[in-house]
Structure 1
Amino acid sequence: MARHNSRPDAADDDFEPVSKSQLKRESDALQEMGEALIPLDKKLLQSLNLPERLYNALIEAKKLTANGAVARQKQYIGKWMRQIDPAPIKELLDAIAGVSDRHNAWLHQLERQRDQLVDDPKALESFIAAHPQADVQQLRQLIRNIHKEREQQKPPKAFRELFQLLKSYHPEPALPGAELDKGDDDDKDET
């Protein structure tokens, strides 16, 4: 009696069957990746050249509000995700996360500079030397107001104003993929 080998390539000794648990984990990961696409704007989704049914499922998911309907739609999106190459989608989502991380680092840098300006008079001199176009009088006035606000335990209005002023001197750097972080306002009008 001949023995039937169910392996795809009997000559391939490296073949290891994939467990049901592993298949489920992969399926869940693809569904989560698909769910991450739901909040993205239409232009970004179109740039991925997704199959029409997956694209339409994502657009439909944006409109749903009932929990059961949303859950079913996410499963449907997961079904379609298993039928496409997820690599371009992963690259896009990673790029978006990277842009967000760089943006946060930029904001933290501005916060540190603001704190230095308020706490160290020499930091103001360094800032003025680095930014000769800066309005020195405005900077000094904001710093004085910050100290008054702290003494009088008032809301940090001048503290926030100084941060906004620093943003104008240090515009957010143009990062590769920065357009990924921008939403398309036209998507909100269509239903």
Structure 2
Amino acid sequence: MLGSYDAESGSYETAGTNFDYLSLLSGEPYPAEMDRPKIFFPCPKKKLLAYDCLWLLGDIPLVSQRLANFLVLKAGHHIQLLKPTSIAANGEAVGDDNYIVNAAQAISAIDHSKSVAERSDKGSILYFNEIWLHDTAAGMGEIARERDSGDLLISQELADAMIEQKFKGDKGLGFYIAERSFTPYKNQA
């Protein structure tokens, strides 16, 4: 249940547009001049509509209208909601309102003394083999992107409120430990 940006399975691009999914990992407002993507899921429409939160390639959330309204109330100043050009499930158009959530702020939360990164010849981080996060990070707010890894972070308070409202996602709420294995948060897998 992972959405792509073109009819081709696993595509990170929408053909014929200037859309760049990396702009959604930067922790900055979505560029006004950039096109909105087309979204494709390889599942029946009914299955897609059963969830409040699904994931797109690049760890980018696509949320239902109900979850979008909730996020605006709880974290509105930390996010942008972007309406995709279209959404299709197994080739069938999905008419319900769903939104891409863009975390519009970036924070530094990685403990570089414990984390292991693969670096370019010039020393810039290409990706992390192991990530350790600090317990607290300045400027976190409710939702943010981690500046160096692009990971989406949400506060414990927001996670608790989402659980209380019984939002349903295909992955559940959780966190990734250093070995990058998923651990459910409060049995929300």
TM-score range, shorter chain: under 0.3
Higher relative contact order (CA 8 A, sep 6+): 1
Higher helix content, 1 or 2: 1
Higher strand content, 1 or 2: 2
Larger Rg: 1
What TM-score, normalized to structure 2?
A: 0.20
What TM-score, normalized to structure 1?
A: 0.20
